[in-house]
Structure 1
């Protein structure tokens, strides 16, 4: 493991923000932290970074590198009046890295930013600012990245681009990544394991697809003329001409697909819908 946190509590006066939180990440692994706004994700990241101290509990970093952790908390903090290249030059100087222009070129290319763009960062899209923030986080070769809500505010194209960038970085650099988000669909596409945090407590943990499947209660089936099916009416809560929403367990999906096939209804897509109330249910503490 690169980083391990055990039994973290954080209290502000009489408010308990984190309650017995444990989380870990190893090299080459993408770990998801799923939670609603205000669940405690940013507070946990600040503790992992050492920006604030926990009321109790411990964080262990297992790395011999000078900078084991890098990342973005809440949003990238850039010098808006400087170019991307100038920002990297400043942050490299702060870290006493002595970067050459070739090193800066490599940093920009690593996150898919142009090396010849000279205008201020204030002109950049949010997605480009996120990329630049990741480039800054990668300075000094950290072993693990912590990315707090990297998809927030991005359009679908921007989200896909950042997702692809993260996957490529993990494959190429063999680093670990912890990503916090409230967007479960994006975490499901990228994370190996998933922690679910609600009201400061970890209420779920497991392999991402297994955890999602366990908490999936509804499926939307798409097929031409599905409204004509007799089988679907036994399960459906909502039927349209070419789609039907059904409440069924994952284990029963193959059977209903076979029955529909026998009726001459050929499913083109089966989309799970997460039971958020169940997923974010907080146990008694």
Structure 2
């Protein structure tokens, strides 16, 4: 069975069932948009899939190979957390040269979006600029699957549009699961949409279902693409 499969994921926090037998899957060529209200468990789910957070029960596999730990998944799956994770006092060109293969590095260094930052250190960048660097490092990594948690946070509208095109470009060879408070950007690039609601996942086949299920207000109907 090819692809990334996460099944029977359960997680209870402070006596509250956050995830209840959740299933989600992803194939190379897919961008899975993961939507849900604040506190619905989206970040928790991504961390469990990645392996950085323990679950009460889980089954995570890539290409039928079960992954039991962060160590086993580190070359197959990369996770972009909500908070910036790069070291402050190292030059960006040095960081990405350690993170990317030599072939990917040459391509990343040629990207106009990252060129202005290469000689800077992370602590010299704004929050949005840090996010651009992190997202692009993930896209040019060798990982087969990427988990993006709030990738557009703090980024200018112009740069968001550029990143969305890059995400679509790299999804040809990678599987991507993405969640962001700016749902319209997620819907714009997602090939498949999943709503996490009351601990369970629901497949969304038409955007109007997001209104019917109470995730979006009725006023959003007029701007949703069908």
Q: Classify the TM-score, shorter chain.
A: 0.7 to 0.9
* Aligned equivalents of 1:15, 1:193: Cα separation in 2: 28
Report the CA distance shift for 1:34/1:111 in structure 2 as closer, same or farther (over 3 A).
farther
Q: What's 2:59 paired with?
A: 58
The alpha carbon displacement at 1:149 in A equals: 1.1
* Aligned equivalents of 2:156, 2:116: Cα separation in 1: 24
Q: What's 1:77 paired with?
A: 85
* Aligned equivalents of 1:107, 1:214: Cα separation in 2: 38
* Larger RCO of the pair (alpha carbons < 8 Å, separation 6+): 2
- How many residue pairs get aligned? The number is 212
CA contact (8 A) 2:88 2:123 kept: yes
Q: Does 1:175 align with 2:174?
A: yes
Instruction: Give 1 or 2 for the bigger CA radius of gyration.
Output: 1
CA contact (8 A) 1:70 1:138 kept: no
User: Residues 8-23 of structure 1 correspond to what in structure 2 (within 5 A)?
Assistant: 8-23=9-24
Cα RMSD after superposing both structures: 3.1
Q: Secondary structure at the match of 1:136?
A: helix
The alpha carbon displacement at 1:106 in A equals: 2.6
Q: Secondary structure at the match of 1:168?
A: helix
In the TM superposition, structure 1's runs of 4+ consecutive aligned residues that sit over 6 Å from their partners are 63-66
Q: Secondary structure at the match of 2:9?
A: strand
User: Residues 72-221 of structure 1 correspond to what in structure 2 (within 5 A)?
Assistant: 72-91=80-99, 104-109=105-110, 112-114=113-115, 117-138=118-139, 141-171=142-172, 174-202=173-201, 204-207=202-205, 210=206, 212-216=207-211
Q: What's 2:223 paired with?
A: 271
CA contact (8 A) 2:139 2:167 kept: no
Give the TM-score normalised by structure 2: 0.79
The alpha carbon displacement at 1:69 in A equals: 0.9
Give the TM-score normalised by structure 1: 0.64
